[in-house]
Structure 1
Amino acid sequence: MARTRTSLWLFALITATFAAAPAPGAAQAAAPAPGAAVAAAPALSAAVAAAPALSAAPTAAATYTNPVSAGTVDTFPDPAVVKGKDGKWWAYGTTNPIFNSRGETGEHILPTLSSTDLVHWTYAGDVFPLTAKPSWWPAGTRPWAPDVRYYNNAYRLTYSLSVGGIGLATSPGPNGPWTDRGQIVPAAGGCPSGTIDQAMFTDTDGSYYLYWGSYDTICVARMNADGTAIAGPVTQIGHGRRMEGGFVVHRGGYYYLFYSDGGCCDGAFSGYTVKAGRATSPLGPFSTPTGVRLTDLTSKDGNVLAATGNGWVGPGHNALATDLAGQDWLVYHAIPQNDPDFPPVTGANGATLNLTKRPLMIDRLDWIDGWPVVRAGAGPSNGAETAPVTTWAVGSTFDSGAAGFTGGFTWSGGLLTTAAAATSLSAGSVAGNVRVEGDVRGTAAGISYGPVTAWLDSASKRLVVDGAVTGSAALPANFNYQSWHTIVLTRRGSSLVATVSADRLLQDVATVSLTLPAGFAGGRVGAVSRTGSADVDNLGAAPLSVPVTSLAPTPRAGALLPAYTDEFTGTAPNAGWSWVRPDASATVSGGFLVRPTQAGDLALGSNSAGVLVRDAPAGPFVVETKLQFDGVRGNQQAGLVLYDHDDRFVKLAHSVLPLNGIANTFLQQTEFTKEDRRVSNNAVTSGPSFGGPAPATMWLRLLHRDGVARMASSRDGVTWEWGAAWTMARPLRIGVVAMGGTGATARFDYVRTYAAG
C-alpha cells in the first residue's frame, strides 16, 4: 500500500490546484470554502523557489485491514500507544508469546513496536529482556498492561505486575534504554480489586493522576509533583463486573473514562467490551449517557466497542491515538474467532501457560453527541478501512534535512533550531479546514499558520496566540519549557483552536478558542522563536478530518410472529411451550408467567434448572420479554435463552453477581453469556459479556441472524441499548429461565417474537 495516508472523503474535498499565498501578516483574500486546496507559496527567494512545492492532493487513498500487527507479531494485548518525538508511533504490549508461530515457545516482556503510519508495524525490542528483570520483582511475576506518557524530557512507562503492584520505567527515547524506577504502587494499593491496568493522566493544571484497578473496581489517586508516586487519597470511581483497563482523556470540557468489562482473554468465550463514562473532574463522579454513575451497583450503558459476530471476539483494553488530520483512533486488542488460542507456552515467570491470541487492532473513534463510539457503532472492522492520515500535505519530520523550509532556523540533528528570535516558513501553504502541529521547546517557541502564531510565553506563563487573531490561556505552574510539547492549531470554518500538550494523548494543558476574521485564507506553516533559543520538530499541516455525526443503524424488530408469541393471558403457557426439567413452581397468573428462582443452575456441569422452551422461527428473528425481577443475592437470575442443549446456548438475563473485593455487595447485571464446547479441547466453556443497566423492571431482546446472536436491553421498552454478539448457529429454541438460588421471583409480562427488521 502507498505510504501516504489520507481518507477517501478528504481526497474528495481536496483539489490539486495551486494559488499564491500571502506572507505572514499580509492582508488576507476571501476565505476559501472548507476543504479548499493547499496552495504553494510565491517565490520569495532563490532558496525558497528551489524547495519542492507540496500538494494536499494525495496520489491515492490508502486502506488497512485488521489486525494491523499481522505479519509482525502473533499477539499484542493491552496496547499503549504514543507518538514519539522522533515522528513515529510507538506501541507497547503485555508480556506474551509474540513469536510463537516462528517457533519460540516463550514470552517477551513488554514488547515494543514502531510505525510511521499506525498500520505497518515493526518489532523494536522489549522493555525488559528476560535475562535482565528488575531484582525487586516478586517471584512468578509477568508484567502486564503498560501505559506510556511523555513529560519532563522522559518517556514514562508504567506497568502492572501479575502478582500485584505497579512499576515505573523511564527513558529519554521511546525505544529505551529503559531505566527501572521501582515500584510506585504496592500490591495493597488501597483499591479493593488490586493493582493492575494502570494509566496516567495529566490535568489542565499540570497535576498528575493514576488510574488502576480490575475485577471489579477502578480507582484513581493524585500523584506527586513529578508523577512518580501516589500522593493523594485513593478514590473508587467505578464498580462493574470485571471492570478494568481505565484510560482517561479530556475533551470538550469533560473527562472521559474508557474501561473494559466482561472477560478479557478466554479465547472465543471472551466477552470484553469497551464502555465510557464522563465527569467534570478527573476524580469523578463519572456517569454514562443515561446518567448512571459508574459506581452504581448495576451494569452500565455507554458502549464504545463490542463484538458484532464478524470474526472478532472480546475487543477491549484500549488506548487512543490521533492522526495528523485530527481523527481519533481507538487502539485495542481483539481475539480471532477461528484461531483464538496458543498451544501451551513457557511464561516469563517460568510456568506453563495456556494463553489467548490478542493481536493489535485500530479503528476510527467517532464522537457523536458528546460520546465516543467506534465506527459510529459498527464495531470492530474486518475488511478494508480508510487508513489514518499520517503524511502531511505540507511539513517535515526533519529527519534528513530542512527541505521545504527556509528562514532563520537551522537544521541540526533531525530538527530545526535557533539561538535567537527567528522564523522559518514552509514553501507550501495551506488553506481551508486544516490541522497544523509542531513539537516545540524553548521559553518563547511556537508555530505559525499564515498570519497566526501560537507560542509558549514563559514570561507570562501563557500559551499566546497573536497575529490575525489574539488570545491566550494560562500554562500550568509546573510547565517545563525545556521539555518537548506539541502545539496544535485546528481550523474548521471560522473557528481556530490552539492547544498544547506533552504527548498528544488528549490531555491538553492549555486551550485557546478564537474566531478568525472574515477573509482569512490560511498561509504557510512556520517554526517560530519570539526570543532566545528554541527547537521545533515534526512540523506540518494536513486537511482536517470530517467528523461522523450520526450513529450506524441498530437492529429493529419487524412484524410480530403470533405463532411464536405468548402474552400469558391464560392460566398456563400456550401450546407452543415444553419443559426441559419441569418447574412445578411456575404459574401463569394476572397476565404474567411467574417463576420463582430455583436453587439449580444452567452452567457448565451444573444443569439442574428448568428451562421452558419453544421452537424458534426458521428465519432471522427478534425475541423480546418484559421482566420484573427482585433478586438480591448472588447468582440469582432470570431471563431468556436461545437453547440447543444444556451445554450449548446463549443466555440474556438479569443476574445478581457479587462485587469482587467488597464483601456482601452485589451488582444488578444485564448478563449475556455463551456456553458451548471449546474447539481446541472440546471442554464445555462459558463466557459472559455485559449490557446496559438492570433495573427491577426491564426489557430484554435477543436478535438471531446468520448464526449470530446479539443482545439488547431497555428500561422503557422504547429506547434500546444494543450490546455484544455471540456466534451461535442453529438449531436453537427460545427459552425462559429463573435460577441461581431460591428467594427471588421473576415475572415475565410476555415473550414476543418478531421477524428481524
Structure 2
Amino acid sequence: MPSKRRLLAAALAVAAVAAGTSAATAAPPGTTTNAISSSFADTFADPSIIQGRDGYWYAYATSDPLVANGPFGLMHMARTKDFSSWEYLGTVFNDQTKPAWAAPGSFFWAPDIRYFDGKYVMYFTVTDTAANPGGDPAIGVATAPTPAGPWTATDGPVVTPKPDGNGGYFGTIDPALLTAADGKRYLYYGGFYGGISVTEVTEDGLHAVGEPTQVTIGDRYEGAYAVYRDGWYYLMGSSMNCCAGPTTGYSVFAGRSKSPRGPFLDADGASLNESRVGGTTVITQNGNKWIGPGHHAFMTDAAGQDHIVYHAIARGTPWLTDPFGINRRPMLIDRIDWIDGWPRTRAGLGPSEGPVPAPTTGSGMGISSTDPAGGLLGASRQPGDALGGPSASISGAARTRQSAPGGSLRVEADVRLGKNFTTVLGGGAVVASVSGSKVTVVAGRRTASATLPADFDRSAWNKLIVQVSGSTVTARLNDAGLGDVYAEAQLVVPGLVVKSAPVAWLGSAEVDNLTVRPVAAPVRRLADVPQTGNLLAGDDFDGDLGPAWSWVRPDDKAVVADGKLSWPLENADLVGGGNTAGLLFHTTPSTDSWIAETKLNLDLGEGDIRNYQQAGMIAYLNDSDFARLGNVAIWRTRQTEFGRELVVRPSDGATNYGAAAIGRSAPTLWMRLAYSKNAAGEHVYRAATSVDGKNWTWGASWVLPAPAKLGLYAHGEFTGTAVPPVATFEYLRFYESK
C-alpha cells in the first residue's frame, strides 16, 4: 500500500499541476537538466514542440497521467521561455471537445504540432474509433488560433483505420507532418504493425489525398519524425519497446532520401524498408540513469543549434504507479550534432544526466524578440495580435541599432513578406533576398537560388532564416522552423569573411519574433568509442573446449570442429519462464574493463516469417538477470538486438524483457560487448556490431548489478523452417579496452 508521504507528494504534485505552478527548483541560469518536465510532471511522453510568436516554446504530450495516481488526460500542454522553468497549461481536449468520432474508451497519443495557413495544426493518434469499437487506430487532426488552443477537432480522421485482412487493423499511429520543397505537405504515420507510411495531405493539412507509400518495414519503427536538411529528407523512427519499465531499450534511428517518399537509406546504404533493416543511430542509452530514449521531435534554437526533445525512463524509477503499471516517461532534451551528414545526440554520447547548456532563446544586440521594433532603426511598431506582441513593420530600409558580431551569424524571424525583401549581413558580405518566386543568396561573387512553390502565400506568417556558418551561407523559408522547407538557397564560399556590422533590411515585410545570434560552434567529430588493445584471453576453436569453458544446460549438438563452434539453434528460450536454452561461458579477464568479441555465421534468410531465431553473446548473472546480444529474426525482419531481462516483482519472481537495436543484421556478423564501470561503480555492458569486422556500430548499454559471466548462445522458435539453422562461431576473444 502506498505510504501517506507518497500520497501527499502525489496530491501536492497534482495541485501544482492544476494551478499551473512549478513544483521543483529550476536549473541554474543558462543550463537545463534532464528531465526537463520534472517541475510539473512525472511523465510527459511522446513530446512534440513548437515556438509561438509570443516567444514561448510549447510542448505537447500523450494522454498518460502526469503524476502517480493522477487521472488520464486528453493530451497535455506546457510552455517555457528558457527550458528551465515550465508552466503547465492543461489538456488539449476535454470530454466536450474531444473528437466525436472517437470511441468512448479511446486514448489520444503522440501529438505532432505544426503551424501553417495562419493556424496551429495538431495531429494525433486515436486508438479506437466509434465506427469499429475494439481497436481500429486512426490519425486525428485539430486546429487552434494559438498554440495554447482552444483546439477544434475535425469531424473525421485525416487517415482512416486500415484493415489488416484478418479481422484486425494495422497500426495507424504516431503522425508527423513535413512541408516539402515541392510545396506539398506529407504526413508520416504507422508503427510496428504495418510499418511507417507517408501520404500527401491537402494544403490545409486536414485530408489525406492519393495513395500512401510505405517507407519502413513492419516490426521495427514507430514514432516517425521527418526534417529537411542540406538537400536531404531525413526520416527518423523509434525502435523496439517504448514501455518495458526497467528493461526499455527504445532508441531512435534515421535514414535519408532525396524524396519525401523515400526510399530512406542509412549511412551504410541500407534501407529502412527491407528485411535486414537499416538505420543510423540518432540516440540510444549509454549506461547512465536514462534508458529507452525515443519518440522524439526536433527543434532549432536561436543560435542555429538543433536539439532532440524526447522521452526516456529513469531505470531506478521506471513506473508511474506499481510495477506493470504505467511507465514513467518524462520529457528530456539534448543537443543534436550533424556529423558526416547524420544527426547524432551529443556527438553519439546519448542522453545527458547532469546540467548541460540550455537551448539559446531570445535575441542579442538589445533586441526584444517579441517587440523587435525597439531594437531597429527605420522600422515602425505594429500592435500585437492573438499570437504575439507588437511586431516591426519594415518599408524601405531598416537596420539594427547595434552592430552584429563578425563571423558566423544567424538571423531568424517570423515574417509576412511584401513583394521584395532583402537581408544584408556584414555590410554587404552576404545578401539574402526573397523576390518574386525566388529565394537567393549572394556572397563572395557567388550566387545560389531556390524556387518557391507556385502557391506560396507571402501574406501569411512564415519563418525566414538567414545564416552564415563558417563558409556556408543559407537562406530558408519554411512554416515554423521545424525542419520543413518551402525553399532553401545555399552556397559555400571558401574564405568567406563576415565583418561586424549592423544587420540591414531592404524592401517590405512585417517582422516578429526576431532573433540575431552568433551561430553555435558545430561539433563535427563523433565521441570516442571503446577500442581493442592487447589480446587477454579467448579461444579460436582449434581444439576441444578447455577448462576456461563451462555450461548451463549443456547441449551435445554444439560441436567444435574445423576451427569453429557449430551450434544448431535449440528450440528453446531464455525469457520469462522459458529457461530451457543452453548457455556456454568462458572465464572473463580480471581487469576492470575489457572487450569481448566473436564472429558469428548465421543465415536467417530474408523476408519470411520467423520469430526469435537467434544466436550471439550473453552477459549472464542468472536466468532472470542477463543482457543478450543477438542476430535475431523478428517476424519478417532480421535485426541485431541487445536485450535485457531482470526481475521486476520479487514477490513472485515476475520478470520483464526489453531490447535495443544495434546496427544491421547480416549472415556473417561480428559482435562485441565492452565491459566497464560507470561513475556510480555499476557494471556496464555496451554492445557493438559489424558486418565486415573493421567498421563498428556501437550502440546501447545495459547496467547489471554485478560482474556477469560472458558466453555464447543459440536458440529460438522454428516457425517457417523445417530444419534449425546452424550458428557457427569462429572465435571468442577478450581484449584490453582502451
C-alpha contact (below 8 Å) 1:77/1:93 kept by paired residues: yes
Could you tell me which of 169, 175, 179 is aligned with 2:142? 169
Deviations 1:497-537 (A, max 9, x none): 2111110012221122357897753532356543xxx4211
Name the structure 1 match of 2:577: 605
Q: Report the Cα distance in structure 1 between the residues aligned to 2:698 and 2:299, rounded to whole angstroms.
A: 26
Q: Which runs of 5+ in 1 are unaligned?
A: 1-59, 346-352, 659-665
Name the structure 1 match of 2:177: 200
Give the letter aligned to residue 512 of structure 1.
A
C-alpha contact (below 8 Å) 1:401/1:411 kept by paired residues: no
Name the structure 2 match of 1:747: 728
Matched, 1:552 2:527: yes
Deviations 1:370-416 (A, max 9, x none): 11101111110111212221132126456467432232423322233
Matched, 1:428 2:402: yes
Matched, 1:145 2:110: yes
Matched, 1:728 2:701: no
Could you tell me which of 195, 215, 221 is aligned with 1:243? 221
Q: Report the Cα distance in structure 2 between the residues aligned to 1:236 and 1:275, rounded to whole angstroms.
A: 17
Q: Report the Cα distance in structure 2 between the residues aligned to 1:240 and 1:456, rounded to whole angstroms.
A: 42
Give the letter aligned to residue 53 of structure 2.
K
Cα deviation, residue 463, structure 1: 2.9
Q: Report the Cα distance in structure 2 between the residues aligned to 1:425 and 1:494, rounded to whole angstroms.
A: 24
Name the structure 2 match of 1:504: 481
Alignment of structure 1 residues 16-35 onto 2, 5 Å: none
Q: Which has the higher contact order (CA 8 A, sep 6+)?
A: 1
The structure-2 alpha-carbon separation of the partners of 1:294 and 1:390, relative to structure 1 and needing over 3 Å to count, comes to same
Deviations 1:168-187 (A, max 9, x none): 00011111111111311112
Q: TM-score, normalised by structure 1?
A: 0.84
The structure-2 alpha-carbon separation of the partners of 1:288 and 1:162, relative to structure 1 and needing over 3 Å to count, comes to same
The structure-2 alpha-carbon separation of the partners of 1:335 and 1:494, relative to structure 1 and needing over 3 Å to count, comes to closer
C-alpha contact (below 8 Å) 1:445/1:455 kept by paired residues: yes
Aligned-residue sequence identity (percent) comes to: 37
Q: Which runs of 5+ in 2 are unaligned?
A: 1-27, 129-136, 678-682, 719-723
Name the structure 1 match of 2:358: 387
Name the structure 2 match of 1:622: 595
Matched, 1:594 2:534: no
Q: Report the Cα distance in structure 2 between the residues aligned to 1:401 and 1:641, rounded to whole angstroms.
A: 59
Cα deviation, residue 540, structure 1: 2.6
Q: Report the Cα distance in structure 2 between the residues aligned to 1:640 and 1:161, rounded to whole angstroms.
A: 40
Could you tell me which of 668, 686, 689 is aligned with 2:638? 668
Deviations 1:175-226 (A, max 9, x none): 1111111311112178984210110100112101010111151111122233
Q: Report the Cα distance in structure 1 between the residues aligned to 2:547 and 2:102, rounded to whole angstroms.
A: 64
Deviations 1:332-369 (A, max 9, x none): 11111111101169xxxxxxx92111111111100011
Name the structure 2 match of 1:378: 349
Q: Aligned with 1:140: secondary structure?
A: coil
Name the structure 2 match of 1:252: 230
Name the structure 2 match of 1:409: 380
Matched, 1:110 2:85: no
Q: Aligned with 2:586: secondary structure?
A: strand
Deviations 1:202-253 (A, max 9, x none): 0112101010111151111122233221112111111253411111111111
Q: Report the Cα distance in structure 1 between the residues aligned to 2:566 and 2:369, rounded to whole angstroms.
A: 72
Give the letter aligned to residue 605 of structure 1.
G
Q: Report the Cα distance in structure 1 between the residues aligned to 2:732 and 2:213, rounded to whole angstroms.
A: 43
The structure-2 alpha-carbon separation of the partners of 1:436 and 1:190, relative to structure 1 and needing over 3 Å to count, comes to farther
Q: Report the Cα distance in structure 2 between the residues aligned to 1:189 and 1:417, rounded to whole angstroms.
A: 52
Could you tell me which of 114, 117, 121 is aligned with 2:86? 121
Matched, 1:439 2:414: yes
C-alpha contact (below 8 Å) 1:310/1:382 kept by paired residues: yes
Q: Report the Cα distance in structure 2 between the residues aligned to 1:592 and 1:468, rounded to whole angstroms.
A: 62
Q: Report the Cα distance in structure 2 between the residues aligned to 1:275 and 1:600, rounded to whole angstroms.
A: 31
Name the structure 1 match of 2:162: 188
Alignment of structure 1 residues 527-546 onto 2, 5 Å: 529-530=507-508, 534-546=509-521
Deviations 1:22-41 (A, max 9, x none): xxxxxxxxxxxxxxxxxxxx
C-alpha contact (below 8 Å) 1:397/1:415 kept by paired residues: no
Cα deviation, residue 638, structure 1: 1.1
Q: Report the Cα distance in structure 1 between the residues aligned to 2:279 and 2:151, rounded to whole angstroms.
A: 39
Name the structure 1 match of 2:310: 332
Q: Aligned with 2:92: secondary structure?
A: strand
Name the structure 2 match of 1:656: 633
Deviations 1:633-665 (A, max 9, x none): 32211111111221111111111111xxxxxxx
Q: Aligned with 1:231: secondary structure?
A: strand
The structure-2 alpha-carbon separation of the partners of 1:599 and 1:468, relative to structure 1 and needing over 3 Å to count, comes to closer
The structure-2 alpha-carbon separation of the partners of 1:705 and 1:210, relative to structure 1 and needing over 3 Å to count, comes to same
Q: Aligned with 1:206: secondary structure?
A: coil
Name the structure 1 match of 2:208: 230
Deviations 1:117-148 (A, max 9, x none): 23332112211124542221113211000101
Give the letter aligned to residue 479 of structure 2.
A
Deviations 1:465-506 (A, max 9, x none): 589977643211121122111111112345432111110012
Matched, 1:86 2:86: no
Cα deviation, residue 671, structure 1: 1.5
Tell me which moved more, 600-609 or 738-747: 738-747
Name the structure 2 match of 1:584: 556
Name the structure 1 match of 2:133: none
Q: Report the Cα distance in structure 2 between the residues aligned to 1:611 and 1:493, rounded to whole angstroms.
A: 54
The structure-2 alpha-carbon separation of the partners of 1:702 and 1:87, relative to structure 1 and needing over 3 Å to count, comes to same
C-alpha contact (below 8 Å) 1:200/1:210 kept by paired residues: yes
Q: Report the Cα distance in structure 2 between the residues aligned to 1:405 and 1:569, rounded to whole angstroms.
A: 78
Q: Aligned with 1:409: secondary structure?
A: strand
Deviations 1:614-639 (A, max 9, x none): 33233322211111112343221111
Q: Report the Cα distance in structure 2 between the residues aligned to 1:61 and 1:269, rounded to whole angstroms.
A: 34
Could you tell me which of 45, 52, 58 is aligned with 1:77? 45
Q: Report the Cα distance in structure 1 between the residues aligned to 2:277 and 2:602, rounded to whole angstroms.
A: 15
Q: Report the Cα distance in structure 1 between the residues aligned to 2:222 and 2:619, rounded to whole angstroms.
A: 29
Matched, 1:449 2:424: yes
Tell me which moved more, 587-596 or 461-470: 461-470
Q: Report the Cα distance in structure 2 between the residues aligned to 1:214 and 1:406, rounded to whole angstroms.
A: 52
Q: Provide the aligned length of Structure 1 versus Structure 2.
A: 672
**Cα RMSD (Å):** 2.5
Name the structure 1 match of 2:252: 274
Q: TM-score, normalised by structure 2?
A: 0.86
Cα deviation, residue 76, structure 1: 0.9
Name the structure 2 match of 1:567: 540
Q: Aligned with 1:403: secondary structure?
A: helix
The structure-2 alpha-carbon separation of the partners of 1:240 and 1:547, relative to structure 1 and needing over 3 Å to count, comes to farther
Could you tell me which of 259, 269, 287 is aligned with 1:291? 269
Give the letter aligned to residue 98 of structure 2.
K
Tell me which moved more, 409-418 or 227-236: 409-418
The structure-2 alpha-carbon separation of the partners of 1:385 and 1:161, relative to structure 1 and needing over 3 Å to count, comes to same
Q: Report the Cα distance in structure 2 between the residues aligned to 1:61 and 1:489, rounded to whole angstroms.
A: 28
The structure-2 alpha-carbon separation of the partners of 1:636 and 1:398, relative to structure 1 and needing over 3 Å to count, comes to closer
Cα deviation, residue 548, structure 1: 0.5
C-alpha contact (below 8 Å) 1:409/1:422 kept by paired residues: no
Q: Aligned with 2:292: secondary structure?
A: strand
The structure-2 alpha-carbon separation of the partners of 1:375 and 1:568, relative to structure 1 and needing over 3 Å to count, comes to same
Could you tell me which of 73, 88, 98 is aligned with 1:133? 98
Tell me which moved more, 212-221 or 132-141: 132-141
C-alpha contact (below 8 Å) 1:637/1:740 kept by paired residues: yes
C-alpha contact (below 8 Å) 1:165/1:187 kept by paired residues: yes
The structure-2 alpha-carbon separation of the partners of 1:226 and 1:134, relative to structure 1 and needing over 3 Å to count, comes to closer
